[in-house]
Structure 1
Amino acid sequence: MLRLNHWHPISFSRLLCTVSYSSDAQKLSKLLLDIGNLDDIESNLNQSEILISPPLVTQVMESCTHRAQTRRLLRFFTWSAKQPTCKLPDTLFNHAIKLFASLKDLRAMELLVTELKRESRGMGIDTWAAIATTMVDHGKEDQAIGIFKNIEKYRCPRDEKSLNLLVHALCARGHARKAEGVVWNAKNWVSMDSYIFTTLIHGWCIKGEFKDARRVFEEMRSNGFSPNLVAYHSLIRCVCAKNLRINPSALVRDFFELVMEMRSNSVCPTTISFNILISYLGRARRVKEADQVFRAMVQEGCDPDYVSYFLVVRLLYLTGRMGKGNEMVDEMIQIGLKPKARFYHSLTGVLCGVEKVDHALWLLARMKENCSEVYGPTYDLLITKLCKGGKFEIGRKLWDEALERGAVLQCSVDLLDPSKTEVYKPKRKERMTELAQKGQKKNKKKQHLQMQKTRKKKK
């Protein structure tokens, strides 16, 4: 029971308002969730005797954000804005726009943006960021550019900050050409800086246009701005992606050419720089080169982190080099790196995928020794794999161990019952034997044809 030691009219009235707001918010939330269509919702809202206020609207919107459909929230908000007793402030209008942007409802967001302009309300800079990002994500980049051209009509300043937000939104989706056009049109009232150049380079790299990215990079240098690490990382990703498609053997060569250029411009490569290359070498399944780059990191003054180890160990597991992968896990632990349970879980998934459950159990033991976090999904993965592979006893032991350690399991206890779980045999071995038999047949045919050719030559 709530007690008030000293009664005060202001505090007591605030308490009553809070209680009434919460009860009214519950009634309105139930109305939004239970009533059938939008027209019925509005008619029920008109019949209700609840006094609408901005705090109440905020409460209802926040409580129903992930429970009610966005169009129901939109109908409630527009209805609230029409009430004569409720004058919604600009901050609440901006909050609603950002809410619908986060819920990916483009149409609802556009309607409120139009209403905001019609009522001459002010648009905050963070609201503009949400609008630009949402429109570009939905393929409406031209519409976002159109709003920026008339952004002062939305009572938002047309300055360097609003320009940077639009350029960032465009380049994040690879619309670097349109972003360059926006920057070109604004060159009379905004000064180019290193952020705009770096963002444009990133946009061209996402598009996969290395030549254009390099062109902007040279423009950046000619304008007196020193290239930064972010710009070089964008170039590294772009050239690695291009080589992965066209010429994987050039991955290491082109990377170290960029590293030499970085050092000449007083930009030192970091562990992230090498991790980018190792990740692309892993995609190309170039094990030897990935291992060489990993060992070369220390010589270049970059200590490998747990991401570096993860990328190399994952590649070793995928290519069947289990012993070498396990050695690298032990090496990582010995040098003092202690990644979180997610590291072990991801590698366990790789091992289960290549049917190496014994090595996955070894990895689980390493996780228990060196990681205090109890990660339920790892147990779910192993128990499911073991039971469906017919190893019910080991699956039962892991189940009991997980419960004893306090792990939250999502898999069903029925997996432990052989009468309810269908045991399957991995088709990987059967597929490998089929491929081997086909290869033997092809070799026999080739040998037979060669024998016939040699006989004809002798004759």
Structure 2
Amino acid sequence: MWRSIAAGSRLVARNFGVATEKVHCSQTLSLNISRSLSKPSLYRSSRFLSESPAANPKDESSFSPETDFSSRSFGENEYAQMDPSADAVESNDNLGENYDTQMEKFDFISGEGKEEEAYEIDGDKLENVLSLLQSSVDGYLESSLDSFELDLHEDFVLKVLETPLVLGENLVCFFKWVMKHPEYKVTSSVVDALVKAICSSVGKKDVYALWDLVKEIGGKEKGVLTVEILNELIALFSKLGKGKAAFEVFNKFGDYGCVANQETYYFTIEALSRRKIFDWAWSVCEKMIETGSLPDSEKVGKIISWFCKGGKAKEAHVVYTLAREKKMYPPQSVVAFLISSLCQKDETVKLALDMLDDFSGEGRKYAIKPFSSVIRSLCRMKDVDGAKTLLSKMISEGPPPGNAVFNSVISAYSKAGDMTPAMEMLKLMRSRGLKPDVYTYTVLMSGYANGGQMEEACEILNEAKKNHSRLSPVTYHTLIRGYCKLEEFDNALKLLNEMKDVGVQPNVDEYNKLIQSLCLKALDWRTAEKLLEDMRLKGLHLNGITRALIRAVKELEEDAIENGEALVEA
């Protein structure tokens, strides 16, 4: 029992009398212990002392003068009241076994287990640094910072970087100065704060200086640069229109141990597309496709649009296909633009045709533009039957075709000389309540005129005059050309005069075609000169080649007359 008490006393002295600043605490605890021992129930006091972290109960030198537990503190009357129970003996026996646990308890009481106190920023030094960085300092920034004798804690550096209205150039110089101190460890949060600060005050010079600094950090500190930091740089270069610089950042991902994500690919493609470097942009997009990682639908739509504008509709279709596989649906306007771009080349029209099946419901109802683009392309490729099939599908499933769609098919049939199916399309057009316009009648007349069927062409002209009060010069030009081709110049001249009567002014083309035909086929330079004079009165000017043709025919006739007269005289 005496040994237990002595060991507990020595341990209390050791833990509460080590340092000068702990004297008050140790005295208070010693007083509490002595008070508890003076109470009638010293059984609990004996347990308390036995649970103390006694390092060596036999070490008499562990007593401290500040906490001297003498026989006066533990008088005979007090010890007589102690109950020599098994618990007290057990506590004394287990004193050495529980040493580590007991030491932790007393460390906590004595304050040795406290966490490090929170860092407090020196307001005066912070104000001095900010005043320096917010002003223009030419060449003296580092020396001025050295004179401040700063404690470069991460919180202090972050506070400086997050303060607005600081020149970006000065922030970069400040960070370089900080990196020169070996005791300061650069962290991702600090670099991220620096990048965001530069991004808020965009300047091309600052951005390139920042990128040089980031490359320096990446070369020295492994694992500091993150995907987010590099993405912010790429986005900033994209905003400034620096596609090559953004591409350089993208190519550095592997060197810095970063893996590109959706935002990385998107911002890099955006930066390169803005500079119209579409080959590089596609190389980045190919890597994105390989990973199967796509941004959201809206951004996918922008990527598709960029490639379409860059003449890479086929590549844009690859992105669209992957998006569809992932149940991502770009805006309908983007889909329509992609279809229109695919229709510009014969080799990709089939892809555009297949895409039409992706429209359904309300979307299909208003998709008249992409359907029209495909039909025009099929007609251009002389696949008129395919265009007719698609038109029939539009009638049955939508979107309902309009005049432009019917005109494309009618024009294709007319150019091919297939007037029977062309007239059938005209009838179908009328049956759907659509009124043929002047263009419709003109292409039909052109088809008949090219085939020499001028009678049928004139019937179409009469129908056109009934349904439209004013026709175009092209309509009459089509028939005039047909009559000239058949050398029916009188009918051609009648149509020319008719144009004047109905208020359609002939243009240079009608006169030029008729004059050339008169000179080359009929050798009628007199009628040609009358038409030329008519043109002068109307303020029209005939080209020099046709004028020379009239003179040549006239001189040819005069020479023939002279030669004939000479032969008669001979």
Taking structure 1 as the reference length, the TM-score comes to 0.52
Letter in 1 for 2:332: D
Q: Is contact 2:430–2:436 with CA below 8 Å preserved after alignment?
A: no
Q: 2:540 aligns with which of 304, 316, 323?
A: 304
Q: Deviation at 1:232? A: 1.2
Aligned partners of 1:184, 1:31: CA distance in 2, in Å?
52
Aligned partners of 1:290, 1:43: CA distance in 2, in Å?
71
Cα distance change on mapping 1:237 and 1:314 into 2, 3 Å: same
In structure 1, the partner of 2:193 is: none
In structure 2, the partner of 1:209 is: 453
Q: 2:508 aligns with which of 271, 275, 288?
A: 271
Query: What fraction of aligned residue pairs are identical, expressed as a percent?
Result: 14
Cα distance change on mapping 1:113 and 1:42 into 2, 3 Å: farther
User: How many residue pairs get matched?
Assistant: 299
1:161-180 to structure 2, matched below 5 A, reads 162-164=405-407, 166-168=409-411, 170-171=413-414, 175-180=418-423
1:43-442 to structure 2, matched below 5 A, reads 45-47=289-291, 49-51=293-295, 53-63=297-307, 68=312, 71-84=314-327, 86-104=328-346, 105-116=348-359, 121-122=364-365, 124-152=367-395, 155-160=398-403, 162-164=405-407, 166-168=409-411, 170-171=413-414, 175-195=418-438, 196-221=440-465, 227-243=471-487, 250-251=488-489, 253-280=490-517, 288=525, 292=529, 295-298=532-535, 301-305=537-541, 308-312=542-546, 315=549
Q: Is contact 1:255–1:277 with CA below 8 Å preserved after alignment?
A: yes
Q: Deviation at 1:118? A: 10
Q: Deviation at 1:278? A: 3.5
Letter in 1 for 2:337: H
Q: Is contact 1:151–1:158 with CA below 8 Å preserved after alignment?
A: yes
Q: Deviations over 1:401-446 (max 9, x none)?
A: xxxxxxxxxxxxxxxxxxxxxxxxxxxxxxxxxxxxxxxxxxxxxx
Aligned partners of 1:111, 1:304: CA distance in 2, in Å?
50
Letter in 2 for 1:75: V
Cα distance change on mapping 1:59 and 1:185 into 2, 3 Å: same
Q: Deviations over 1:88-135 (max 9, x none)?
A: 122211111110112333222222223446996455333333222111
Cα distance change on mapping 1:174 and 1:76 into 2, 3 Å: farther
Aligned partners of 2:344, 2:481: CA distance in 1, in Å?
29
Cα distance change on mapping 1:203 and 1:295 into 2, 3 Å: same
Cα distance change on mapping 1:43 and 1:226 into 2, 3 Å: closer
Letter in 2 for 1:101: C
Q: Deviation at 1:154? A: 5.5
Aligned partners of 1:281, 1:62: CA distance in 2, in Å?
54
Secondary structure, counterpart of 2:506 in structure 1: coil
In structure 1, the partner of 2:268 is: 23
Q: Deviation at 1:221? A: 4.1
- The RMSD of aligned alpha carbons is 4.5
Q: Deviation at 1:34? A: 5.6
Q: Is contact 1:25–1:56 with CA below 8 Å preserved after alignment?
A: no
Q: Is contact 1:285–1:315 with CA below 8 Å preserved after alignment?
A: no
Aligned partners of 2:402, 2:386: CA distance in 1, in Å?
19
Taking structure 2 as the reference length, the TM-score comes to 0.43
Letter in 2 for 1:139: K
Letter in 1 for 2:426: V
Aligned partners of 1:159, 1:64: CA distance in 2, in Å?
27
Letter in 2 for 1:216: I
Q: Is contact 1:259–1:269 with CA below 8 Å preserved after alignment?
A: yes
In structure 1, the partner of 2:15 is: none
Aligned partners of 2:400, 2:236: CA distance in 1, in Å?
41
Cα distance change on mapping 1:317 and 1:261 into 2, 3 Å: closer
Aligned partners of 2:295, 2:461: CA distance in 1, in Å?
59
In structure 1, the partner of 2:159 is: none
Q: Deviation at 1:163? A: 3.6
Q: Is contact 2:391–2:401 with CA below 8 Å preserved after alignment?
A: yes
Secondary structure, counterpart of 1:269 in structure 2: coil
Q: Is contact 2:465–2:471 with CA below 8 Å preserved after alignment?
A: yes
Q: Deviations over 1:332-360 (max 9, x none)?
A: xxxxxxxxxxxxxxxxxxxxxxxxxxxxx
Gaps of 5+ in 1: 7-11, 36-40, 244-249, 322-459
In structure 2, the partner of 1:372 is: none
Q: Is contact 1:97–1:112 with CA below 8 Å preserved after alignment?
A: yes
Aligned partners of 1:149, 1:219: CA distance in 2, in Å?
26
Q: Is contact 1:90–1:121 with CA below 8 Å preserved after alignment?
A: no
- Bigger radius of gyration: 2
Aligned partners of 1:262, 1:119: CA distance in 2, in Å?
46
Aligned partners of 1:118, 1:147: CA distance in 2, in Å?
18
Aligned partners of 1:55, 1:285: CA distance in 2, in Å?
66
Gaps of 5+ in 2: 1-167, 169-197, 203-231, 240-262, 556-570
Q: Deviations over 1:19-53 (max 9, x none)?
A: 55441346895478569xxxxx9786132545253
Secondary structure, counterpart of 1:235 in structure 2: helix
Q: Deviation at 1:257? A: 2.3
Secondary structure, counterpart of 1:187 in structure 2: helix
Q: Deviation at 1:239? A: 1.8
Letter in 2 for 1:181: E
Aligned partners of 2:236, 2:477: CA distance in 1, in Å?
57
Cα distance change on mapping 1:89 and 1:138 into 2, 3 Å: same
